[in-house]
Each structure stands twice: as structure tokens, then as C-alpha cells.
Structure 1
């Protein structure tokens, strides 16, 4: 069992495992995975290191290092848990705690967020000096890797990007914060507001998890707009909110967070935040709005607790009220004209959304009936392509290609994509194979299965060995062919056995 070092305060699990490799003198990434996880296929994740139950085994008897506490204190999970639907949060949490593959970056919204994660691991040189002085070594801190924020909350300095790339290139490698990854760069001081924002983000990392439904967030933001005086007859004045946020932060600062606000765009992120929540928003979007509204009086723990106690709709405390039917012939006639000109959807997009809303509230039955009767018939799609002619042309190109490469044993696997690409056929045509019967027949005959491709690689490896007068050994042939016992299909293993046996005899 690996003797993992005890995590330092605010240290990433990624850093803990990397430090263990340095302490143990392990230079091979695969050996490090074997020691810690007993599994060579684990991916090193900076934000959400999974297989926490496996990691916590190395801390048996330490009640402060259970899987749940490791997740809360040494990953970026707390940045997302309170802002995502509770069911999604629980599912992602279960995957991270258990010994299985996880998709937390996708489930929690990190992968598709407007707020982009850093491409390189970052550090604060002042913090590194303090770490070395206090602990005798440096480590990767959580607060340095916050998506969208490149500021140290402790010193108010801009972080420095290290050469350690967070990507799929070395996805099984844990790289420690050592002197050779530190760059000689002078830290720059940030503004007071951005430093305060980074401090709030660090505070959010250390708060307990709250189960908050998206409808509760809708209720909170409606009440917030009401408290600010930005609600008029139950309608949120989005332009006033935009003026407040832009006036506090400035367009340049918001652009640096990749969170620009365009008043012209009806669906900008700030408007969506104050509407009914149909999707989750990042921690940074929430903090930017809260700081602009509360400034130094912002109490994150109190806000999260209050939101968790709200009803799941801000209409729960509003008595049901049915608008009386009002027949306004002028508005009916106007709607009929614009629908005749633009269609129902086009009329709403051409500046008549207010007219539609008025009719929907006061004359809904007539509006729905008229819109249903005004649906434009779908246009019959005319086939403008001569598919038989195109089919013959493409299959001739494919036949010419297969005649050229049929004897080339060192070519890549002959898949549909490979054949189409090398035959100079647009890849988009693969979607229309039902209209290209000759091409479809060609692919069924000449596309290689995985077994056929592996057999070809084995044959090529045998030929290379015989040319070099080397004895045919199974391990040597597999290595030349780039195969392994785990990936080699049974029929290919059988062929390899025949080849080695034949040569030996």
C-alpha cells in the first residue's frame, strides 16, 4: 500500500499524488498509478480527481480524510455543487467517490461553461515562498486553478502560468510543483474589486454543500431584483440590472472573465440569470452579480442558506389570478396582418412580441385558434441532386483507391472515413449512404474489421522480422505490430500462434 502524504490545507489531490511520486522516487507515470490506484488507466484530473474511495484507503484510521472530505476540501467540487441541480450533483458525487469512471466535468457544466478553465497549471510566487518556508516544499493549491479567475486571493496578485499543460497529451501523468516548473516572472497587482472577487471564490471553496434547486435560484434572483427596485408590475427591468453590473465592473473587466454583457442581445447571460433558470450558471457569474449588488456586505454562507430555504417558484406566494377576456379588434387585426406577412414565429421575432404577449394574456383562446389556423404548409423538398450519377462517380474513385492501396500492408485501417477521405470524397456524403447503394456495397466489401486490421499488422511485423533474420517470437511480433495481450482479438492471437509455431518448425 502506498504511503500517501497527508494533504496540506487547500492542496489539490492531483498535487498530493504528484508529491508522493517525488517522495518515492517514481519517474514512471504508470508505476505511480499502479502504486496509488492499482490501475494504469486512471486519468490525472486537476479539478475532479475521481476514485476517492481508492485514495482514502491509503489514509485508514484518519477520520479527516474520508472520501467525502477529500472531495470537499481538495477538489474544485464545491465551486459547482450548489449551482447545479441536486440530482445531477448527487450522481456526479457518487461517480467521484466510487471506484469507477466519471464524467463530472460534463455533468457539472465545467466542460461547456462560458467561464473557461485554465490551459496551464498556475501558481502565485509569493504563496510558493510561504509554502516552502512553512512546509519545506511547494504544492499546487486549489485557489490558483479557479476557472475564469487568474488572481491569488491571498496576495491580490495575478497568477503566473507554469509550463505544465492541462490537456489530453499527458493525461496519466501527475506533475509536482517543483523548481523546474517555476518561471522567472514578476507578479503584478490586480484591482481591489477583482482581488475581493477572488477572496469570495476562495470562501466559496470552503463552504459546506447546499442542495439548491434551479427554481429556487429563479426565486432568489426575482426577489433580488425586487429588493433593488428593478421590478415593475412583476416585470424585471433587465436594462437597469445591466447598468448596475456594467457600472460596477466595467466592460473591460467583464470581457477579461469572458462574461461580456450586450444590452442588444436579448439572451445574454445576465438576462438569463434573472429569468427562469433552465440551465445552471457558473460560480463566477453568480459572484459577479452578488458583489455588484452587495459589495463588501456580501455573506456567501447566508445567501446559500437563504436560497436553500426558498420555495421552488417565486409564484408560490402569489394568489392565482386569471386575466379577464378582453376583445380588442384593433390588436386582433394588427396581429392578423403581421402573421400574414411574417408567420407566427417571424412576427414575434420582428418586434411584435409585446402584441403577442398582450393577446396571450387577454385573448388567449382566439390567439391560439388563429395561430393554429395560420400555420404555413411545409415546403416539399425537391431532390436537386442526381444521386445515381454521383454514386457511380464516387464508387469509381473508391475502386481506384483500393487498387492502389490493396498491396500496401503498412497503410492505416481501411475504415469508411479513411476510404472516403483518401478518395477525395466530401465526408458529408457519408450521411447519405442510403442514396449511394454502390458505395454502400463497396464499403461492406472492402472496409476492414478490427480483427482484419490486426491480422494485417501481425503479417507486416512477421515480414519485417524475417527480413532482419530475427526469430519469430510472440512478444517481439506484438511489440512491432503495436499490440498487447489485452487488445489483441482471439482470432489474431490464434494467427500469431500459427506464425510462431510455423517458423519454429
Structure 2
């Protein structure tokens, strides 16, 4: 089995696989995946890659590279681990060991985050020069690909490359070369970028430890606001919290990183100081902690402090033998709520005067309240379609035909799959969900989408034409080389087509 080179400090596993392919002389992405992972369908993921167990097997036992070690030292997993429940952290580590199929991004909140990742992989040209001088070759570093960390503390702003974060060729691991990025002078980074970058690197260097619970984080931020004079008893004074954030960070910088603040109920800042019901982005945590703990502080110490807080046990559910005693006050609340319920229904009854009775019953007589509400539940109204599906079907059909005509059918043209056609239109999800209402579009996709066999046959035809134009003999090996194929990857139909040419 091929032994990978030992990873450089803090590099992405993405870079390790890419360099392994270069050193082994493998030019085909599929062959590289088969050699490294034993699976040709592995997707090149730059932040939270899966199949770590397969990667660990390539290293000698003396390296002591377990799945947990690889996840914490060579991926971006440490950014999310302290802010999710311990059960979820363990489950995500198990997912990273095998084929995640995107579940890790969903579990850690990356897919639904309000902070959008850059569209391309980024580098620091100054660091690349130092890598070449020290190691003889450059490699992707994981701290270049972090959302919100836009600069290098030594050289300046990070620079975008021509390598997309998630490109059309999803299975290709691209090695870093100086030709991928411009070599103009780097721009200076702002003070905010430097401060945040230092905190992110501290978080990235954290080693594996159990995660605090959501309730422990809630307790910590409640105490933090109280210590800083931003709370009145148990209530948070959000206007004072907002002032502290804007005193530490400029509003324009917060907008640039995707976290603008405002004194509104929907602001992300309020959710941080309320009861935590889901994981919150590391960027939100670091921005608030830097504003409140302006002295020298370390995220490792904060996580330890939070983990030492008491864990609140969930309230026990009432059993049949623990039903509340019906007091005169509860009886009055029942009569009041029935009056509003019969007259206005559940939703309007709460809004038009019955809210206090509803809240009291929900707290002290929940079973009766839920049972009585079922009797007056409003029926589901049938939605009237506001879309002219016939018109939309014709428009999409014409767009797909224009895309088909405009796209050259050369060797550089990608496979015209169903996914590719929908990506060109730009409304993939809305179309896929309603294909049953779009007969022309469905028929076009069924007839014109290329599967792998049709794609290989198309490449062989183009290669035959190119060889004939060059005046060279039509040899099987020459056709395969021009087409970018080999005997191992050929499908049955493509092999039969090539045999007919021979």
C-alpha cells in the first residue's frame, strides 16, 4: 500500500491527497480515488472531508494518526466541535471516519449558516513562497479556507485562486501551484481581521475534549452579560450589548463578514444571549467574546470554564398520577380560554385577549389545553397555485434548448447531465421539486441528458475526428489518449463502440 507523505503542519487533507496523486503519476481523478480510498465516488471536500479512516490506514502505526487526530489537526472540525452537543460531536466524528454524504455539514450547521463561504480556494502568496523555500513545494493550509478569517497575520489579505471551492469536477483534488493565483502585492489587513484571525487560530489549535451542553453555554452568556452590566436581573438589556459590540467592531466590518448587527428581535446577537436551542457559529461566539473579554483571553480557557458549569436536568414529564390539582383559578382560566377559543379559534384567540389564559394553562394544565384545542383546530386551506406552470414549462424548455445549442461538444465540454443542465439555469431545487408539472422540461432532460456511457462515446467520436484531421493512423491507444480515457474506465457501450472503429 502506498504510504502518504507526513502531513505538513495544519494542512488540509485535501492537499495530502492531491500531492499523493502528483507523486504517484496519476492524472485521472477516478484512478486516484480508487487508489487512495477504494471508492471512485469520493467528493473532494476542502473543509470537512470524510473517509478519514481510509486516509489513516495509509500511514504507519508509529505516526499515531487516528480519525480523531486527523479531524482535529488537519480539518476544520475544531471550529465547530465546542459549540455542539457532545452526542452530536461524537456522531460527527463517526461520520468523518466514513462516507459523510454531506451529513456532517448539516449536523454542524455549516449548510444552513448565514455566513457564506468564498466561492474559490484561497491562499497567502507570502506563505506560499515560504513553503517553497522550506519544503520545496506549496500546499493548501486549512486556516486559509476558514469563513471569516480573511487575512494572514504575517503577510496581509488572502488571495482567491482559480480553483473553485466546489467545482464542476467534484472528484478532482487539485494540487496547489503558483500558477493558480495572481502574484501582485498583497493588501494590508485591518485591525479587526488581525484580532479575529488570532482568535480563530487559537480555536483551530484546540485538541479533542467533551463539548459543553447548550444549557451550559446559556448560563455562561447570562453570567457574562450580568458581569458586564448588560442585564437587569434575569433580563438581558440588548441595547447595552449592542453598544459593546459596536465599540469593539465597526459596523462595516461586521457586514463584510456577514454578521451585521441591529437592535431588532431577529438579530443574531439576541439569540446568543437567549436560551441556546441549536448550535451557534464559532464566528458569532468569537466576536462577542472579544468584545466582552478585551483583555488577554484564550478560547480554551473559556470552553473549560463553560464545561464546569452545572448541567441542568430536563424537567420531568407529568404522569397520569401527577396531574395538577384543579384549583378555582385554573377553572376560571379554562372558562376564559373556552370563550375565546369558541369565538376566535386558537391563533386569533391568543392574539385577541386570551393570551394570558393560554399561557397560564400551558404552564399548569397543559394536557387539558392541548385536548380542547384539537376540537377547534382550523382545517387546512387548499393553496391556490400562483404559478402558470405551462408558461414556465415552455420558458424552461426554450432555455434548455438554447443552452444545448450554445455549448460546444468538444473534449473540454463537461458531461451534459441532468444536474449540469439545471445548474446552467440556476434554479435547480425549484425545478426538481416540480418536474411532474413540467412535461416539456422533463422530456428534454430525459432525452438529452448524457449518462457516463453516452459521455464516453461522445469523447471517443471527437477524438476520432481530431486524430483523422491530424493525419495520424487511427490507433486504439491514440484515440483513448486524445479522449482522456483508458481501458479500465470504459463502460460496456463505449468499449463496443470503440471495437467497431478498430
The reply to whether TM is greater than 0.5 is yes
In the TM superposition, residue 241 of structure 1 has moved relative to its aligned partner by 1.6
Distance 1:140 1:255 in 2: 27
Q: Structure 2: state its 5+ residue gaps.
A: 316-323, 398-415, 426-430, 469-473
Contact 2:123/2:159 (<8 A) preserved:
yes
**2:234 aligned residue:** 234
Equivalence for 1:146: 146
Matches within 5 A, 1:286-297: 286-297=285-296
Which residue of structure 2 lines up, in the alignment, with residue 117 of structure 1? Answer: 117
1:203 aligns with 202
- Structure-1 residue corresponding to 2:250: 250
Q: How does 1:122-141 map to 2 (within 5 A)?
A: 122-141=122-141
1:174-202 deviations in whole A, cap 9, x for unaligned?
Answer: 322435545323332321x3311111100
User: Do the aligned residues in 2 keep the contact of 1:54 with 1:99 (CA within 8 Å)?
Assistant: no
Deviations 1:443-467 (A, max 9, x none): 9xxx89x9x9989x99xx99xx9xx
Cα deviation, residue 76, structure 1: 0.6
Alpha-carbon contact 1:82-1:209 (below 8 Å) kept: no
Task: Check whether the contact 1:4–1:20 (CA below 8 A) recurs between aligned residues.
Answer: yes
Q: 1:383 to 1:10 in 2, by over 3 A?
A: closer
Deviations 1:50-73 (A, max 9, x none): 222222222213334333222211
The alpha-carbon distance between structure 1 residues 375 and 123, as it changes in their structure 2 partners (threshold 3 A), is same
Structure 1: distance between partners of 2:274 and 2:237: 11
Say if 1:59 and 1:308 are closer, same or farther in 2 by CA, change over 3 A. same
Distance 1:17 1:335, change over 3 A: same
Q: Is the Cα–Cα contact under 8 Å of residues 26 and 32 in structure 1 kept in the other structure?
A: no
Distance (whole Å) between structure 1 residues aligned to residue 159 and residue 131 of structure 2:
16
CA RMSD of aligned residues (A): 5.7
Q: Which residue does 1:97 correspond to in 2?
A: 97
Partner Cα distance (1:165, 1:488) in 2: 29
Q: Distance in 1 between matches of 2:71 and 2:296?
A: 29
Cα deviation, 1:441-494, whole Å, max 9, x if unaligned, reads x99xxx89x9x9989x99xx99xx9xx9xx9x9xx9xx99x99999979xx99x
For the 8 Å contact 1:245–1:289, the answer to whether it is kept is yes
If you compute each CA radius of gyration, which structure gives the higher value, 1 or 2? 1
* Residue aligning to 2:189: 189
Unaligned runs of 5+ in 1: 317-321, 399-411
Report the alpha carbon displacement of residue 268 of structure 1 after superposing the two structures with TM. Answer: 2.0
Mean alpha-carbon deviation: is it higher for 100-109 or for 226-235?
A: 100-109
Q: CA deviation at 1:279?
A: 1.7
Look up the match of 1:306: 305
Question: Structure 1 length normalisation: TM-score?
Answer: 0.68
Whether 1:12 and 2:12 are equivalent positions in the alignment is yes
1:140 deviates by: 1.5
- Give, in whole Å, the separation in 2 of the partners of 1:87 and 1:51: 20
CA distance in 2, matches of 1:62, 1:73: 17
C-alpha deviations, 1:68-111, integer Å up to 9, x for none? 22221111111111112222222221122246756322222222
Cα distance in 1 for partners of 2:341, 2:290 equals 44
Q: CA deviation at 1:6?
A: 1.3
Q: 1:3 to 1:181 in 2, by over 3 A?
A: farther
- Which residue is 2:279 aligned to? 280
Shift of 1:310: 2.3
Q: Which moved more, 1:61-70 or 1:115-124?
A: 61-70
1:374 is displaced (CA, Å) by: 7.7
Matches within 5 A, 1:295-444: 295-313=294-312, 345=347
* Offset at residue 240 of structure 1 (A): 2.3
- Inter-partner Cα distance in structure 2 for 1:218 and 1:431: 46
Q: TM-score, normalised by structure 2?
A: 0.69
Displacement of 1:371 after TM fit?
7.6
Residue 203 of structure 1, CA deviation: 0.7
Contact 1:164 1:175 in 2 (8 A): no
